[in-house]
Amino acid sequence: MMVIIMIPFIACQSQTVAEDNPMDKTPVLTPVIQADTYNSTYNIVAEAFDWGAASTKAIIKINDKIKEADVCDFQVTEANRNGIVGEREVTNVHLCDENGNPKEKESSYIAVEMSADPSHGTLLYYDRSRFYNIWDEDYKLSFSPIDPKSELLKNLSVNPVYTDRITPQADQFTQSKFKFDEVSMEYALYKPVDDSDKKPLVVWLHGQGEGGDDVTVTLYGNKLTALADEEIQGLLGGAYVLVPQCPTYWPENSAETGNYGLNADGTSYWQESLKALIDKVVSVNNIDTNRIYIGGCSMGGYMTMLMAKSYADFFAAAFPVCEFYDKFIDDEGLKTLAKMPLWFTYCTEDETVPPSMYSSVTIDRLRKAGAQNVHTSIFNDVHDTTGEYFNEDGTPYTYDSHWVWTYVLNNECKDGDLNLWEWLAAQHK
C-alpha cells in the first residue's frame, strides 16, 4: 500500500484553485551531490495523471556503450521549482534506445523508471502571477549509481537539468496553430484510428490553468490524453477530439484584459475564433456534422454553455463540468438550452464554483422550462479511484473538490444506468 501524506492546498482568487501545485510544503531533503562538470545528460518522459504531468522515466545518455550485465540500480533525488522534494522510488533500470524502449546486450542509453504519485514527480508548476500551469523548467533529477561494476557507471556524472521532455501521450494528437483575424490559437486534434466513415467530434474546453501558448500543458494538466485512450474511444465508437487552447482565459472581453472581464451579456472575446477553429476542423476531416459535442471544465464549463447557447443548431449535445454560467441565461437562452441534450457534472463540496450558485440552479431552471434530456453526475468529493494512492489515515487520496473533471476523464460519470460517453455517442441533431 502506498501512503501519501496529505498536503493542504493553498487557495487563491481564481476560478480553478484546484489546479494549484500540491507540492508547496513538501519537506526539504538533502540532494545527491553532483560534480561541477558532467559527462552525461538525460531526457525525461512525462506521463499524464489525474493530478497532472509527472516524470516516470529518465533516459540517460552515456558517452560509450554499456553491457546489459553492467547495468546497476540508481538512487534518484528530484528537485522542482519549490526546492528539493525528495527521493524517487526507482522501479526498474534497463538498457534502452534513445526513446526509452528496452534494448538487449548493449547500448549507450539507460532507462531509469520511477513510480509517481501526487507528491512525487510533478512536472507542472502553477504560476500564481498569471494563474497558469507551466512546465517546470527548474525540475531536476540527481542520479547516483548503486554498487556500479563498470568504470563507465563508476565515473558517471549526469547533468541534473534534463535536455528534453518526451510526451508520448500528447504525440497521439496533432498539434497546430490556428489564425482567425488577429487571433492565434494553439490546438491539439486526435484523429480516430479508423475514420473511413464519418465520426463524431468531441470538443473539450480547458479550465483556467491550461491557457497560454503550449497545448501540451492543456493535454497534460487535466489528463485530457484519456480522451484518446481505448476505453473512451471505444464507447464513442471512435471519435475526433479537438482541444483548443485559449491564449488567455475564456471569460474575457478582449485579448488584453487578463482579468476575466466579461461582456455584460456573458459573451466572450474568444467565441468567434473558437467557432471558426471548430468549423475549420470539421471542413477538412471526415466528421459527422450531426454529432458534434462540446464540453469542458470550470472556465471551460462556462465556455461550453456559452457556445451551446450561441450555436445551438450546430452542437448535438453539451457536457459542462463545474460550470458557472447561470446568470447569463435569460428566458430566450433558457428555451434554447432546454431543447439541447445536456449532461452536468459537479461536486457538492466545490468551493471554487459552488453548485448552489451555478450548476444546480441551471439544472433546476432547465427542468422547469421543460427540458427532457438533462442528466447529472453529482459527487460528494473528489478522490483517487485507482486504489493506488492513499491519505495518511488509509482512506483514498483526496483531491480538491473542484477537480470533478477527474471522474469525467476516468469514465466514472453515470446517471442511473446511463454512462456519459455512451449517452454522448447516441446524441444526434
Q: pLDDT tens across 222-253, in order?
A: 999 999 999 999 999 999 999 999 999 999 88
Q: Quick check: is 2 in a domain? A: no
| pLDDT for position 70 | 95
76-134 pLDDT, tens digit per residue, is 999 999 877 799 999 999 999 999 999 999 999 999 999 999 999 999 999 988 889 99
Crossing angle between the packed helical segments 331-338 and 359-368, to the nearest 10 degrees: 80
Q: Which helix (H) or strand (E) holds 86?
A: strand 83-88
Using CA atoms of 75, 79, 85, 91 in order, give the dihedral in degrees to the nearest 10.
-30
Q: Quick check: is 72 in a domain? A: yes
Predicted TM-score (pTM) of the model is 0.90
Give the contacts of 354 (CB within 8 A, at least 6 positions apart): none
Give the count of alpha carbons within 13 A of 427, CB side only: 27
| pLDDT for position 27 | 35
| pLDDT for position 6 | 30
Q: Quick check: is 9 in a domain? A: no
Same domain, 147 and 208: no
Cα–Cα distance list, 175 to 170, 178, 208, 236, 244 (Å): 9, 10, 20, 22, 10
Average pLDDT (385-400) is 96
Record the cell numbers describing residue 252, joined without a space.
Answer: 474575457
Assign residue 292 a region: left if phi > 0, alpha if psi is -120 to 50, beta otherwise?
Answer: beta
Same domain, 186 and 149: no
Domain with 288 in it: 170-425
Domain end residue (candidates: 147, 166, 185): 166
149-204 pLDDT, tens digit per residue, is 999 999 999 999 999 999 999 999 999 999 999 899 999 999 999 999 999 999 99
Same domain, 91 and 142: yes
Single-letter amino acid code for the residue at 38: Y
Beta strands 73-80; 140-146: pairing state:
antiparallel
Same domain, 213 and 130: no
Domain end residue (candidates: 128, 147, 166): 166
Same domain, 209 and 150: no
Q: 119: domain CATH number? A: 2.60.40.2180
With cut-offs at 50, 70 and 90, classify the pLDDT of residue 392: very high
Q: 272: domain CATH number? A: 3.40.50.1820
3-class state of residue 241 by DSSP: strand
Q: Which helix (H) or strand (E) holds 365?
A: helix 359-368
Same domain, 29 and 67: yes
Burial class (CB in 10 A: 0-12, 13-18, 19+), 69: exposed
Domain end residue (candidates: 146, 166, 186): 166
